[in-house]
Chain A
């Protein structure tokens, strides 16, 4: 297999983009990535587009064909990839495989979602369509509901505290406030969301024991990357290429109740192990991580299941600042899904874009992990039933 490099990245600010169509967003992010790769006038062999819900939300299908036409990239091959909230990383994985196999040389991967076109409860319902159609969805379960139940079990089993969950929210909103691409640019304080008597209004219970500020926002947004073989990367761009050193993907039962232990995110562990094995690295070799914190609990649980902390120690690590900038393993220096936002089809791509920014040392001191050489991303689909992980490293 050929080694694969990321030679261009692009992203548009996430948020509420009433004025843009889904295609506008995908096209803008793609053009930014192609420009970053110095490929505005060069051919792209294939395009993979990650999107979860255009068929439902925009009544639009064949998004990849539409994007190729919008960008005048014909006759490039084009495929849409739908894997729930892990669509972004799945699309990148497909692009990586296509190049690694030697079949294509230059691949554009774009991920996007336009979720603010519908009211909040319809967006929640749309995301819930990934639950089991017979034993979960008809009974009204939502992803926040699942996360609430998961959190309660995790607290009982590992002694996780609400304070530790709040530490994740405060950290990530602080980083989001420094990220021009983030949807939420608002600092929050423990006084404002928990300690003050006014917190009962500011941060109401959403899915016991999770509160409003334990949840990611519903966002519009898009992100894109350009991939090519490492051996061509140095000629293609002057920027330091970032190598896809390893990837992994694993699945688990569709429903939570069928798992031996609902708190055990096996697919996270397996996907991470595969990625580390392929990269010939261990968790301790990673300088920073972007994890899928759709809910604060997930950042902690994923950090443990991916092998960065022992079970039950992830929350303590957050509280001690070990996952903050300057800590042992900075996590979600983009603000994560919690603050950057979670346009579902875009998220997995955005995580990789953010790690590439870090590995190219392009961020300001207030977000840049010093001398970062390796990064890890984890994109979490369903409630952990389809997970994709990447280990990335800066090419020397």
Chain B
């Protein structure tokens, strides 16, 4: 599709400069090493391949999370969402989870979605924690606004971090009750919820950066909603 850059200049919102998220490595329960790193905008078409099958998975709200994440990533790719970022988790190069969010302004972060493709290894917990780490420690924001669209998310974010309910505050994702993570809550929770080591050893980082490998659609469905699904 031809892009009219004159019109694009009007449609594209100006962005705030965002410092990068430095990659880290996390050892999972099975001993495998997950590299958490920032995805580039050019990675989006690959990420969409992984997200697309989840849109039709009616289990644990994967459908709504998948559909919204797909739209958010596409919005970022087409420059229709301002100050969006995406972090990915990779094991041996394979994508095992995605998180994304947005910088509203210098003080407030907007958490969007967390999607675990490999389940049962707390990949979602690690990636959500990485997202909070990015907002508070690297973007230096004072608070992050969060909603949960699934019971799992509610348990993992609202209960485990003790998030603060924000009555009357409208989160960008709409209807669900809006909560916030403050700097204090983050640093109080950090010892038990935020982990990972830096720098990532060269070999692991090289494999992760070389390519985001995506399992085929059948494998993704089986990982998420097979009989062995958690």
Contact = CB atoms under 8 A, between A and B. Distances in A.
Interface of A: 13, 15-18, 119, 183-189, 191-193, 196-204, 213, 217
A198 B59 contact: no
Nearest to A12: B227
B29 A202 contact: yes
Nearest to A220: B227
A308 to B, nearest CB: 29
A-B residue pairs, 5 tightest by C-beta: A189-B31, A15-B227, A196-B27, A192-B29, A202-B29
A202 B129 CA distance: 12
Contacts of A17: 227
Interface residues of B, number: 27
Interface of B: 26-32, 59, 120-122, 125-126, 129, 151, 191-193, 195-197, 225-230
Contacts of A213: 29
A186 B129 contact: no
Contact of B29 (A15, A203, A217): A203
16 contacts: A15-B227, A16-B227, A16-B230, A186-B29, A188-B31, A189-B30, A192-B31, A192-B32, A198-B28, A198-B126, A198-B196, A200-B192, A201-B125, A202-B121, A202-B122, A213-B29
A201 B31 contact: no
A183 B30 contact: no
B122 A184 contact: no
Per DSSP, chain A at the interface is loop
Nearest to A196: B27
Contact of A202 (B28, B197, B228): B28
A13 B227 CA distance: 8
B31 A191 contact: yes
B226, B228, B230: residue with the most chain A Cβ atoms closer than 10 Å: B228
A119, A197, A201, A217: residue with the most chain B Cβ atoms closer than 10 Å: A201
Given A189-B31, A192-B28, A184 B120 contact: yes
Contacts of B27: 191-192, 196, 198-199, 202
